[in-house]
């Protein structure tokens, strides 16, 4: 107990450690209790981080900062409009078609399940198959009720979308245009004795920016490659499934395993146990292997230096705290924890 007391006294006697601790606690409090209200601001910061790399590249080509921001912002708005008026209607139509085909898919699946007791009587009984079919029906009914509940609250969703559509682009432009002013304003109001916090932030800032740009790049590449592959192989609802696969990379390890289920189910209901099904699944697993073993190391070579177990723990912990944003930022937040832990002993040695 005396050692613990002495350790706390040493830490509290150092203003750098006190400032870093207060800053981390303020950050946690801000995100936990105001995260929903500040969601448009957080989304704007993420997008600004994403676009900052392109702005810096244009500045490297000797373009003025303001002109670079305007060019990047126009491209960003064009990309958003392309998604809203080209991709979203396509996804909506394919989702509608998929929902309409669910009864036929269930009928086909039920027929296949009913043949199991005849093919493998030592493994499956008729009672087990009937119980499995009833369980599937119960789950689908529950999902239908959830969809109905979501549709009843669609007015709130529309209002939220309108708020994001207006506020987020405006704040993204302001964050990019006035970046130096904002950072200067924050810098002037921080204490002078903050070398430890600056050391942690300088490391985390670079890694967060690289992570956000790399993650969006990974989502885009995986989505486009899957869309082309699924379309060329004739898979139904290729655009919708490709988007699901692309978004699955947000959650490392877990996302790829989960999204495999709808891809395999759609392919099986379309082709059954035939050659096209196995070719499709082979191509899909090749894409997943290239993503994990080539694309991720290439995009995140300077960012991800955390053990896979630590990444999974970070996803579970931060996702439980902050939902989607916690999952998305699990690796950068894990990097923040790693940076604080690695900097703390150095600071303590300097004190001794």
Tens digit of pLDDT for each residue in 169-193? 888 999 988 888 888 887 777 777 6
Phi-psi region of 234 (alpha: psi -120 to 50; beta: other; left: phi over 0): left
For the segment 215-232, the average pLDDT, to the nearest whole number, is 91
Let me know if residue 329 belongs to a domain.
Answer: yes
Let me know if residue 185 belongs to a domain.
Answer: no
Instruction: Give per-residue pLDDT as tens, 119-142.
Output: 777 777 777 777 777 777 676 666
pTM for this prediction = 0.73
Distance CA 131, CA 179 (A): 60
Non-local (6+) Cβ contacts of 295 within 8 A are 218, 221, 222
Q: For residue 284, what pLDDT band results from cuts at 50, 70 and 90?
A: very high
**Residue 158, pLDDT score:** 59
Domain tally, the chain: 1
Question: Which structure tokens are listed for 183?
Answer: 């950072």
For the segment 89-113, the average pLDDT, to the nearest whole number, is 77
Let me know if residue 180 belongs to a domain.
Answer: no
Q: Which of 9-18, 114-123, 243-252, 325-334 has the highest mean pLDDT?
A: 243-252
Say whether pLDDT at 347 is over 50: no
Let me know if residue 325 belongs to a domain.
Answer: yes
Domain that holds residue 246: 195-352
Residues for the chain: how many in total? 352
Give percent of the chain above pLDDT 70: 76
**Residue 35, pLDDT score:** 63
Say whether pLDDT at 283 is over 90: yes
Distance CA 303, CA 308 (A): 13
Q: For 288, how many CA atoms within 13 A lie in the half-sphere containing its CB?
A: 20
Let me know if residue 76 belongs to a domain.
Answer: no
Let me know if residue 234 belongs to a domain.
Answer: yes
User: Per-residue DSSP letters for 66-102?
Assistant: HHHHHHHHHHHHHHHHHIIIIIHHHHHHHHHHHHHHH
Q: For residue 282, what pLDDT band results from cuts at 50, 70 and 90?
A: very high
**Residue 187, pLDDT score:** 77
**Residue 128, pLDDT score:** 76
Say whether pLDDT at 220 is over 60: yes
């Amino acid at each position: 107990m005396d050692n613990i007391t002495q350790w706390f006294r040493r830490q509290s006697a150092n203003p750098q450690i006190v400032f870093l601790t207060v800053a981390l606690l303020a950050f946690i409090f801000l995100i936990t209790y105001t995260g929903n209200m500040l969601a448009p601001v957080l989304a704007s910061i993420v997008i600004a981080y994403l676009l900052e790399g392109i702005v810096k590249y244009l500045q490297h080509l000797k373009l003025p900062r303001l002109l670079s921001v305007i060019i990047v912002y126009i491209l960003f708005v064009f990309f958003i409009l392309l998604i809203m008026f080209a991709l979203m209607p396509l996804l909506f139509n394919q989702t509608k078609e998929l929902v309409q085909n669910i009864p036929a898919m269930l009928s086909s699946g039920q027929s296949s399940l009913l043949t199991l007791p005849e093919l493998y009587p030592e493994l499956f009984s008729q009672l087990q198959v009937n119980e499995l079919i009833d369980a599937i029906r119960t789950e689908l009914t529950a999902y239908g009720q959830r969809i109905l509940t979501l549709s009843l609250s669609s007015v709130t969703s529309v209002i939220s979308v309108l708020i994001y559509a207006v506020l987020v682009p405006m704040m993204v432009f302001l964050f990019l245009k006035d970046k130096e002013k904002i950072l200067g304003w924050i810098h002037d109001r921080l204490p002078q004795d903050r070398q430890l916090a600056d050391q942690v932030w300088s490391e985390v800032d670079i890694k967060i920016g690289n992570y956000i740009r790399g993650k969006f790049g990974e989502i885009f590449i995986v989505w486009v490659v899957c869309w082309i592959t699924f379309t060329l192989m004739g898979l139904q609802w290729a655009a919708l499934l490709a988007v699901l696969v692309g978004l699955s990379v947000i959650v490392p390890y877990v996302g790829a395993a989960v999204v495999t289920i709808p891809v395999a189910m759609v392919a099986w209901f379309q082709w059954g146990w035939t050659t096209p099904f196995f070719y499709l699944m082979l191509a899909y697993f090749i894409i997943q292997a290239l993503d994990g073993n080539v694309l991720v190391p290439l995009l995140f070579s300077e960012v991800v230096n955390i053990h896979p177990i630590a990444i999974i723990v970070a996803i579970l912990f931060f996702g439980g705290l902050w939902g989607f944003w916690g999952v998305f930022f699990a690796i950068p937040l894990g990097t923040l924890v790693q940076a604080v832990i690695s900097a703390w002993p150095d600071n303590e040695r300097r004190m001794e």
